[in-house]
Structure 1
Amino acid sequence: MTTDGALARLIRSSAERTAEPEAERCDLCAAPVLDGHPHLYDTADDQVCCVCGPCSVLFADGGTGDGRYRLVPRRRIRLDRVDTDVLGVPVGLVFFVPRADGTVTAEGPSPAGAMRWEIDADAWQRLAAACPELAAMEPDVEALLVNTVHGNDHHWIVPVDDCYRMIAVVRREWRGLSGGGRIWPAVEQFFDGLTERP
C-alpha cells in the first residue's frame, strides 16, 4: 500500500469520525437516549426536551413537574379537511397549538425557525365545535398540523415534537432567499412518513 493511500484512508477515517453526531442525552439526567425517545414540553421556556424512558415515567399522567413539564403524547390522527382559513393564517404549511391559558398559536417554518401568530380564540372554538377531535387535543403538547401547499390536503393531530421536526426539515433544506427546490420534496417526504397511532 502506498503512503498516499494510507494517508487518504486516515484522513477519510478521521473525517467520518468527526462527522458522526454525538449521542443524544436526557435533558434531565444526562443518560443516553434511544431513537424514538419520549419528549417533555417545558411550558416555562416554550421548548421540547429530550427525556429517557425512566425519567418520562415521572411525568406520565400529570405526575411530577408542578405543571412546568408536560409529557408529549405519541398519538397521531389523520383528519378529513379542516377549514383553517377561518383562523386567518396566510400560509399553507402551519401548525396550531391550543394553550393551557386558553390562547391558540399558529406557527409556520421559515429559514430562521418558527414564525408565530396568535389566533383568535373564539374562531378556534368555533372550528373545534365543528371538529370534535380538535376539542379533545391536549393543550401545549398536541397540534393541528396542516399542509395545503401545492394542492396538498394534509390535516393531522400530532405531538408537538412532530411539528418541530417538520420545522427542522425546512431549515435543513432551505437555500437562498426563496428556499430553493429541495424544500417541498422534503416536506412531502415528511408527511408521507407520518402514520396514525393511538
Structure 2
Amino acid sequence: MQSPGERCELCGVALASEHRHLLNLSNRAILCSCQACSILFNARGSGSGQYRLIPERYVALPDFRMTDEQWEALMLPVNVVYLFQNSVEQRLMAFYPSPAGATESLLSLENWEELVGNNPVLQELEPDVEALLINRVRDRHEYYIVPLDACYRLVGLIRMRWRGLSGGEEVWSEIARFFAEMNRRASEQMSVKGGSDAGSEL
C-alpha cells in the first residue's frame, strides 16, 4: 500500500506505507527510501560511503548490567538517552530527547568501555545506524538495541507533544506507548528467530 504523497528521497518513486530509511553520514539526516534504493545501499561502502541502510533489528536487554552510579555519572538532565558509534567522527555519541529536539551530551563517556565489558552484546551495535536506548523514566530500567530512526521518532514525539514545564500527561502516555512498542517489536523478532532456530534443528 502506497503512502499518499510520500516519495523516495533518492529517486522520487512513490513509497509504500512501510518502507526503509537511509542515514546520510555527512549530516546525520534520515531519508525515506524505496526498495530498490534500499537494496542498492545495503552494501557498506555503496553510494561512495555517503549513506547507510538503517537496519530493522529490535532487541530488549532484560539482563543489561548498569549500576545507578554508572547512570548518574552520565549527569543527564533527563531519564532517556540513546548512544551510538559515529564512524565519521570516530567516537561514541550520546543524545537525549528534549522539548527542543535531540540534545547531545557533551560530558565524558568514560564508563562506556566498562559497560561494554559488562554487556558484550554492545559489541554487536552497527556503527551509525543502531543505538543503545536507555529508559529510566519513572523508575524503569529498560535497555534496548534499536534502529537509529526509532530514536529520531522518539525525539520527534517528545518535541511535538511536550507541554509546559513538566510535559503534561499526554506526552508521558505517548512515551509509555513508544517503549511498549519497542518491547513488542523485540518480542516479535525473538519469536521469529526462535521459530527459525527450532526449524533448523528438524
TM-score by length of 1: 0.82
Question: For residue 67 of structure 1, what is the amino acid of its counterpart?
Answer: G
User: Which range is displaced more, 90-99 or 114-123?
Assistant: 114-123
Partner of 2:8 in structure 1? 26
The one of 45, 49, 59 aligned to 2:31: 49
What SS is found at the alignment partner of 1:182? helix
CA distance in 2, matches of 1:156, 1:133: 11
Shift in Å at residue 35 of structure 1?
2.2
CA distance in 1, matches of 2:17, 2:6: 9
Contact 1:70–1:141 (CA under 8 A) maintained in structure 2: yes
1:107-122 to 2 correspondence within 5 Å? 107-118=95-106, 120=108, 122=110
The one of 182, 190, 193 aligned to 2:170: 182
Question: For residue 175 of structure 2, what is the amino acid of its counterpart?
Answer: V
CA distance in 1, matches of 2:4, 2:100: 23
1:146-161 to 2 correspondence within 5 Å? 146-161=134-149
Question: For residue 48 of structure 2, what is the amino acid of its counterpart?
Answer: D
Query: Structure 1 runs of 4+ off > 4 angstroms?
Result: none
Q: Which runs of 5+ in 1 are unaligned?
A: 1-20
1:69 counterpart = 2:51: yes
Contact 1:44–1:68 (CA under 8 A) maintained in structure 2: yes
Question: For residue 88 of structure 1, what is the amino acid of its counterpart?
Answer: L
CA distance in 2, matches of 1:171, 1:147: 17
Partner of 1:128 in structure 2? 116
**Percent identity (aligned):** 36
Partner of 1:95 in structure 2? 82
The one of 125, 145, 153 aligned to 1:165: 153
What SS is found at the alignment partner of 2:6? coil
Alignment RMSD = 1.9
CA distance in 2, matches of 1:110, 1:49: 22
Shift in Å at residue 82 of structure 1?
3.9
CA distance in 2, matches of 1:192, 1:125: 29
Shift in Å at residue 111 of structure 1?
1.4
Shift in Å at residue 118 of structure 1?
3.8
Question: For residue 186 of structure 1, what is the amino acid of its counterpart?
Answer: E
Q: Which runs of 5+ in 2 are unaligned?
A: 194-202
CA distance in 2, matches of 1:121, 1:178: 27
Question: C-alpha deviations, 1:86-136, integer Å up to 9, x for none?
Answer: 651422111111221431111111112111114645421221121111111
Which structure has greater strand proportion?
A: 2
What SS is found at the alignment partner of 2:174? helix
Question: C-alpha deviations, 1:54-78, integer Å up to 9, x for none?
Answer: 1110111315212110110111110
TM-score by length of 2: 0.81
- Matched positions, count: 178
What SS is found at the alignment partner of 2:93? strand
